[in-house]
Amino acid sequence: MPYIAPDIASKTLEAKALARRNRTKRNVILLIGYLFGISIAVIWDLVAPNSSPKSATKVYLGMMVGPGAAFLFLRVFESRYIAPQARCPKCSYNWEIKEGRGVSLDAHMECWHQCPGCGLLMGDDVLKLALTPSSFEAIVGKSKY
């Protein structure tokens, strides 16, 4: 295993944790948008059941308006609610987690074993092993000298 400096390993773990937190925050905001849109549609249907659009149309409108508002909220207030982008501590390659159908598997940060920019090893197990001071001694055995 190549040597990874403990400070680089800790910064790498922090950047990966930041990328995971950023993805979680974005997904929670979108979930809130979906739930808000659907709940407004259900309330609209309960308050005015005989109004112009049918119940299913109201739910579809809620499913479009809620996430649309969440996307707009993310674009306007993203810098306030989501931390700066996670980047490689060596080369500043963007490690933000991309999701969706259009994203190829090699673009998923969770699938990377090393940074695409500089080749820094970024597996969680390897990084935690690099942070353990006695990891080399545990693998090789203590010297008797």
Residue-wise pLDDT tens digits, 91-134 = 988 888 887 778 887 777 777 888 888 888 888 888 887 777 66
| DSSP character string of 50-98 | TSSS-HHHHHHHHHHHHHHHHHHHHHHHHHHHSPPPPB-TTT--B-PPP
Residue type, 10: S
57-72 tens-digit pLDDT: 888 888 899 999 999 9
Burial of residue 130, with CB atoms counted within 10 A of its CB: 0-12 exposed, 13-18 middle, 19 or more buried: buried
Query: What is the end-to-end Cα distance of the chain in Å, rounded?
Result: 24
User: pTM here?
Assistant: 0.74
